[in-house]
Amino acid sequence: MIFTDWEGPWVLTDFAYECAMAFFNSYEFFERLSQFDDYLVLVEKKDDYEAGDTLRLLAVFLVANDVGSDELRDLAEKVLKYTPDAEEAIKELNDPIVISTSYEQFLEVSAEPLGLKYYCTSFKPENYDLSQSLKREIVEAVEIIANLPEIRIPPDEGTLRAVNWLNDFFWKKLQKTEAGKILEDVKAVGGRRKLEVVLKYKSEKPIVIGDSISDKDMLSYAKEKGIAISFNGNEFALMNSNLAIVAESAFAEVEVVKRCLSEGLDWIRICEDVRSGKVCRVDKLDFKELLNESKAMRAKLRGLAGYLS
């Protein structure tokens, strides 16, 4: 069976990033949340927190800013941008299962019209009711978060100051208010939650496509049991994959998957040309050079969103 991430391999849009820009006009705000997400997963290893739970944190601010499902769908239609050739290419695969961290409203607009079966983050902002004073406090925190020091790994003094503020804000302050219900309910489909979807299908030799930290668990599983494919992936995707595609067209994914279904990994010795790019055996090349090439293509296609984990 074929399982694939959505944003990156087939869609260039990072919908959470677009939400932050559209409703709060702050790249720095979203960057801090994304960095905090990485820190909680990689350093703090917080219980019941998965890669991609940035959407869990962001959900609080969307509710506080009175953003509803209709507004999210409208934004999705406005910002949706498929990876080149994706709409045509994905139709050539045999019923791929899409596993996306993004909000359901984005998948309704981008994946549903293509007839794809998908799993994603359930979030209906209109189901929550916050007091006006709490809404103001949360919205005012956007600027504070945007001005926190960058969160680095390994952590420096500024990182620890930022992390302490964010931990206090989300897990001590907000969790004791009505907003705590949002933090409790919204579970982004990332990390182990993506792997749980793959395991549900009991595929003996799954083929998994991903590109980021939220895909690392399902890629790692497929690397051992089947085939894991990084498509213009970052270090988290690449280190957990058998193959790395560096390409501009989604048809590269289709070509690689079809060949892997019929021939396994044997058709690729080191690198092979595919449409608008190439596919390489991760273990046969210098990792750093391959990573730089993969990340460069990622940034070329996805812009600022391509620099996020």
Q: What percent of the chain has pLDDT over 90?
A: 97
Q: What is the pLDDT of residue 308?
A: 74
Say which residues have a Cβ less than 8 Å from residue 170's Cβ, sequence separation at least 6.
57, 60, 183
Average pLDDT of every residue of the chain? 97
- Does residue 230 carry a pLDDT above 90? yes
pLDDT digit string (tens) for 155-194?
Answer: 999 999 999 999 999 999 999 999 999 999 999 999 999 9
State whether residue 231 is helix, strand or coil.
strand
Closest to 237 measured CA to CA, from 270, 254, 215, 206: 215
Q: Go through the domains of the chain in sequence order and give each one's CATH number.
A: 2-11+82-122+189-307 (3.40.50.1000), 15-78+123-185 (1.10.3870.10)
Output phi, psi for 284, to 5 deg. Answer: -105, -5
Handedness of CA 3, 5, 9, 10 (dihedral sign): positive
Calculate the alpha carbon distances from 19 to 117, 229, 238, 300 in Å: 24, 28, 27, 21
